[in-house]
Amino acid sequence: MELSTPSNRANKAKKVVVFDYGFGNVRSAERALARAGADVEITRDFDRAMNADGLLVPGVGAFAACMRGLKDARGDWIIDRRLAGGRPVMGICVGMQILFARGIEHGVETEGLDEWPGSVEPLQADIVPHMGWNTVDAPAGSELFAGLEADARFYFVHSYAVHDWSLETHNPTMHAPRVTWSTHGEPFVAAVENGALWATQFHPEKSGDAGAQLLTNWIGTL
């Protein structure tokens, strides 16, 4: 598949740091980003993470463990400072979940980064975890899903999700967040585009050509 590239993308490869805080398949993310045209580095170095064109935050495992690892690596501070300066950040899987206010696992509540309101809670479905390919319902005007067919499928592996979206934008000069949904037993948030902060519950690095196109779209905005 030949990837569709946004027309405003600079000729020079954009520098993307995959933040290595001990949680997430960083090598798969590195390969997928390189395929999409980025100059990729895996590191937890503070300055490199701060100065990259884009920061990708992966995540697998438990919400609480990911939050501990992120804070130990000062990733919470890096994400906050990058977003304060309008510098792009993208979260994947648990790397998306920790962007919300809290995670609730086995009755234990853990504070997230609170970039978005909401709770990450267990999926209510006959089969959990939600593991495999699924379609999504992307909103009109989505940049993340540009160039993709409506029936494009993405690879999910998760037992927890965000079921409600409550963030509203009342400033008419600001774009409202674009929220993409999917369904496994019940609807859940599958992706968010909110200014400099984008995220996916699914794994684009494991989603074949569709995932490669999605990462190309993100890199094209850096």
Quote the distance between the C-alpha of residue 195 and its chain's center.
13
Please report, in angstroms and rounded to a whole number, the separation of the first and last CA atoms in the chain: 23
Alpha-carbon distance values, 15 to 28, 124, 133, 200 (Å)? 17, 39, 29, 20
Q: Where are the alpha helices (DSSP H) in 73-186?
A: 75-84, 94-97
Catalytic-residue membership of 203: yes
Catalytic-residue membership of 168: no
Q: Which of 130, 158, 184, 203 is catalytic?
A: 203
Q: Which of 93, 130, 158, 193 is catalytic?
A: 93
Answer yes or no: are the C-beta atoms of 193 and 144 closer than 8 Å: yes
Catalytic-residue membership of 66: no
Q: Which of 30, 115, 193, 205 is catalytic?
A: 205
Q: Give me 163's structure tokens.
A: 């079921």
Q: What b/e readout covers 91-103, taking b as 16+ CB neighbours within 10 angstroms?
A: bbbbbbbbbbbbb
Distance CA 149, CA 85 (A): 33
Catalytic residues, by residue number, are: 93, 203, 205
